[in-house]
């Protein structure tokens, strides 16, 4: 068993990969090339993104959870079918979550209308997807995905079992197929255009360890008028996911002004280390969600 530690602000939660006896047969060592065994390498990202929001809204609950989590250990096992994943083919992702004794956890708190958020990114952070696996009961979440290209992907799942701290686990998935790696470059202009909105990002204090505010402003793609018709997506004006170029840092941030409709959505977070980061903002308008990626350098 491989043991890694999750560092939360108030607590340490050990996350261990555990292997269900019944699934051992599926993970033949000859197939390590595929997705198998990626549950053995589950580095845990610090879970800073949620904290700001919780500080404002759920402080008592959060402290209580952290207290409980001090004794709490989680086991998280990822598995994939088929073992040798290929571009363009359906892949079943299972994530089994259990307690320190290996008993499946039963109850998960809703966080922004979902029990578990799964983010899938390509190694060069070009590909991004945000999905919500179905809870099958007994601590098991399942998601089917089709990845368009080959290469290395990183998966981050964040969730909060009842009585535990908010937790992020991650793994790596290798997919057969062609892919051209494109190195990220910092945006010179922080303006992105989609068919739903022109989105401008203003970021203050892009310095490691400091509180940074990310303010997104929305204008109509044709008229340029300030938009005030953003719709709530998963219970908030928007959702922001931030991942470092080295894929080590994962932040899932919720807005300061949860209930707004535009023209601005503000988020507060803290980048844990310097370097390049990609920031994806997800918003909804006219019944459709849209995603805007930005690349910033943190000093």
Residues engaged in binding Cu ion (CB under 5 A): 117
CA distances from 56 to 70, 203, 205, 256 (A): 22, 21, 21, 9
CB of 51 to Cu ion, least distance (A): 17
Angle between helices 59-69 and 49-57 (to 10 degrees): 130
For Cu ion, which is the closer residue by CB, 91 or 116? 116
Measured at the CA of 59, the angle between CA 56 and CA 62, to 5 degrees, comes to: 130
Please check whether residue 176 is in contact with residue 152, taking contact to mean a CB–CB distance below 8 angstroms: no
CB of 128 to Cu ion, least distance (A): 12
For Cu ion, which is the closer residue by CB, 36 or 116? 116
For Cu ion, which is the closer residue by CB, 117 or 179? 117
CB of 298 to Cu ion, least distance (A): 24
CA dist., res. 93 & res. 95, Å (int): 7
CB of 11 to Cu ion, least distance (A): 23
For Cu ion, which is the closer residue by CB, 168 or 217? 168
**In the 8-state DSSP scheme, what is residue 124?**
T
CB of 122 to Cu ion, least distance (A): 18
For Cu ion, which is the closer residue by CB, 123 or 129? 129
CA dist., res. 101 & res. 146, Å (int): 34
Please check whether residue 147 is in contact with residue 175, taking contact to mean a CB–CB distance below 8 angstroms: yes
Residue number with the smallest Cβ distance to Cu ion:
117
203-213 residues labelled b (16+ CB within 10 A) or e (exposed): beeeeeeeebe
For Cu ion, which is the closer residue by CB, 117 or 174? 117
CB of 232 to Cu ion, least distance (A): 13
């Amino acid at each position: 068993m491989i043991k890694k530690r999750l560092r939360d602000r108030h607590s340490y939660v050990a996350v261990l990969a555990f292997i269900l006896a019944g699934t051992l047969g599926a993970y033949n060592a000859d197939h390590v090339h595929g997705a198998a065994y990626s549950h053995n390498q589950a580095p845990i990202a610090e879970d800073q993104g949620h904290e700001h929001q919780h500080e404002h809204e759920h402080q008592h609950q959060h402290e209580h959870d952290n207290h409980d989590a001090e004794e709490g250990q989680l086991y998280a096992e990822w598995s994939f079918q088929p073992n040798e994943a290929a571009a363009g083919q359906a892949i079943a992702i299972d994530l089994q979550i259990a307690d320190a004794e290996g008993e499946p956890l039963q109850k998960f708190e809703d966080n922004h209308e979902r029990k578990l958020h799964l983010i899938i990114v390509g190694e060069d952070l070009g590909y991004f997807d945000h999905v919500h696996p179905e809870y099958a009961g007994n601590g098991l979440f399942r998601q089917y995905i089709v990845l368009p290209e080959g290469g290395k992907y990183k998966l981050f799942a964040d969730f909060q079992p009842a009585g535990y701290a908010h937790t992020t686990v991650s793994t790596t998935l290798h997919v057969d197929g062609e892919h051209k790696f494109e190195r990220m470059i910092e945006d010179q202009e922080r303006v992105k255009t989609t068919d739903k909105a022109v989105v401008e990002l203003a970021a203050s204090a892009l310095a490691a360890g400091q509180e940074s505010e990310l303010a997104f402003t929305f204008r109509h793609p044709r008229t340029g008028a300030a938009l005030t018709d953003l719709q709530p997506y998963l219970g908030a004006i928007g959702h922001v996911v931030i991942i470092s170029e080295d894929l080590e840092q994962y932040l899932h941030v919720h807005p300061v002004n949860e209930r707004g409709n535009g023209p601005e959505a503000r988020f507060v977070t803290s980048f844990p280390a310097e370097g390049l980061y990609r920031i994806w903002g997800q918003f909804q308008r006219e019944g459709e969600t849209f995603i805007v990626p930005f690349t910033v350098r943190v000093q």
